[in-house]
Amino acid sequence: MDRVLIVDFGSQVTQLIARRLRESGVYCEIVPFNASEQAFADMDPKAVILSGGPNSVADMDTPRAPEAILNSGKPILGICYGQQTLCTQLGGEVEQSDEREFGRAFLNITSPSPLFDGVGAVGEPIQVWMSHGDRVNKLPEGFEIIGSSENAPFAAIANEARQIYGVQFHPEVVHTPQGAKILSNFTHKIAGCSGDWTMAAFRDNAIAAIRAQVGTGRVICGLSGGVDSSVVAVLLHEAIGAQLTCVYVDTGMMRAGESEQVVGLFRDHFNIKLVHKDCSDLFLGKLEGVDDPEKKRKIIGATFIDVFEAEANAAGGADFLAQGTLYPDVIESVSFTGGPSVTIKSHHNVGGLPERMNMQLVEPVRELFKDEVRALGQELGLPEAFVGRHPFPGPGLAIRIPGAITGEKLEILRKADTVYLDEIRKSGLYDEIWQAFAVLLPVRSVGVMGDGRTYDYVCALRAVTSTDGMTADYYPFEHSFLSRVSTRIINEVRGINRVVYDITSKPPGTIEWE
């Protein structure tokens, strides 16, 4: 299987490069620039892509690409900052310019190049997305201009003999309509990748990897009922059968009917060994009086680990703990450029297990994005009702109740959320929306219902569209839908007298309510 290495210099959209490559059947991995030399040696990729980033190559001590990559003879594509550090390191020059470009621009193709095959003819402008202040003003020896824009005369460059390319714009974002084609040209036509990475191939490789890692050991898997852990459970069952024990922990913060659905599917349909633990009192007790969302996450995560450890001991011991860590969790839990990203996914144990636990982690889908996990679930035969479920993060309703959590608040929110999702399904919108949920705000509103005053909670509704969970935009419900669902919630859920709809969008990063 051909592989491409993506060297991350800190761009918010680096993950989208990986998405575009995988969509074209090319397997790739993202590594931070300061770990890329070793990753390059270990991976022996077919090609390398250098991402964008927030730094200026004109400043001291800013990131650079390893010389081993630049001198490897492998095809290289530098994007934005990646292009600038390429030019700087290979003998060109980059300047800090007052003529910045942010947003939509038009690239004029000036010379024929395999990078632009099927994208546009020489002299034909194509729409691209720019995001830069610095710009190249002198090319390294052997390079030529293959595209320019109004404020970036060296917007696309190439050394065809060495198969090294650089673009100032971002081909990975949807705002560059032909961007996926440009990236495909680089991976398939220039680097010669076969594009044979499929979910069926991933399934076979993952099963083989699980068997090699686990051997005759026993695995305990935390089953939440969400897409990620459900896929992991079925994949593990297919790989190691009776060596797997799944533990479903009811935290008391699950969606309505969650426990019955999970137990029915995995114990009865798949015949997977399943331990169902009702730990509602335990979790609610530990969360009593806690209002900080990060503390909630850490308490819930630590309590999960305690429960898993106890169940592993009760079952006679386990050698491995399996969990549904995804690629965005891994990416966002590693601070590639010294920033704050290490705190984004703190509810996943991507950093490892507590030292006291004598178990290794099994994370068979940590290389996949959310939509790829759904495709793997379909490949494994999971029912569409589970594969297509909206994401439900481990902390559950706990992070959808800002402020202190009580049993009363949980029941109010659970009922409101059920009404909301019921109306979405009745309207045929469930599959158009990536994630939808209700939030019980920590404020009360005075209202009039019938002949009496009320002093009840405000419920916020959120719905977003997304592909991979890295970026999100709000779903534009029609006013008639919002009116209908608001009326139902107020009429059917005692404790709520006002409903609002959140229309904020989210940049790359977590899209949960925090």
> How far is residue 484's CA from residue 23's CA, in Å, rounded to a whole number?
38
Phi-psi region of 507 (alpha: psi -120 to 50; beta: other; left: phi over 0): beta
Q: Are 509 and 499 in contact (CB under 8 A)?
A: no
Classify strands 320-322 and 219-223 as parallel, antiparallel or unpaired: parallel
What pLDDT is attached to residue 91? 93
Give the bridge partners for 444, in sequence order: 457
SS3 352: coil
What residue spans define the domains of the chain? 3-190, 199-387, 406-501
What pLDDT is attached to residue 239? 97
Q: Are 320 and 219 in contact (CB under 8 A)?
A: yes
Comparing CA positions, the residue from 383, 364, 394, 145 lying closest to residue 250 is 394
> How far is residue 402's CA from residue 315's CA, in Å, rounded to a whole number?
36
> How far is residue 50's CA from residue 31's CA, in Å, rounded to a whole number?
10
- Residue 49 belongs to what H/E stretch? strand 47-50
> How far is residue 513's CA from residue 438's CA, in Å, rounded to a whole number?
10
Tokens 């045929």 belong to 428
> How far is residue 476's CA from residue 125's CA, in Å, rounded to a whole number?
33
Please measure the distance between the N-terminal and C-terminal CA atoms of the chain and give it in whole angstroms.
Answer: 40
| Domain 199-387 identical in fold to domain 406-501 | no
CA–chain centroid gap for 151, Å, is 33
Cα angle value 243/246/248 (rounded, 5°): 170
Q: Which residues contact 203 (CB under 8 A, 6 or more apart)?
A: 235, 376, 379, 380
What pLDDT is attached to residue 141? 94
> How far is residue 6's CA from residue 237's CA, in Å, rounded to a whole number?
32
172 classed as catalytic: yes
Tokens at 339, concatenated: 């920033």
Cα angle value 56/6/143 (rounded, 5°): 60
Give the bridge partners for 94, in sequence order: 136
> How far is residue 232's CA from residue 234's CA, in Å, rounded to a whole number?
6
Q: What is the CATH code for 199-387?
A: 3.40.50.620
Q: Which residues contact 309 (CB under 8 A, 6 or more apart)?
A: 357
pTM of the model: 0.74
332 classed as catalytic: no
Distance set, CA 236 to CA 204, 209, 214, 219, 271 (Å):
12, 11, 10, 9, 13
> How far is residue 142's CA from residue 70's CA, in Å, rounded to a whole number?
14
Q: Helices 370-380 and 227-240: crossing angle, nearest 10°? A: 40
Q: Are 234 and 265 in contact (CB under 8 A)?
A: no
Residues of the chain with pLDDT under 50: 335-351, 507-514
Tokens 């909630």 belong to 296
Q: Does domain 3-190 have CATH number 3.40.50.880?
A: yes
Half-sphere exposure of 480 (CA within 13 A, CB side): 1
Q: Are 173 and 13 in contact (CB under 8 A)?
A: yes
Catalytic residue (one of 101, 172, 363, 367): 172
95 classed as catalytic: no
Largest CA distance in the chain: 82
Q: Are 168 and 138 in contact (CB under 8 A)?
A: no
Give the bridge partners for 46, in sequence order: none
What pLDDT is attached to residue 335? 45
Catalytic residue (one of 28, 80, 221, 459): 80
Give the bridge partners for 126, in sequence order: 107
> How far is residue 80's CA from residue 67's CA, in Å, rounded to a whole number?
19
pLDDT tens digits, 355-375: 666 788 899 998 888 889 999
Fold of 406-501: GMP Synthetase; Chain A, domain 3 (3.30.300)
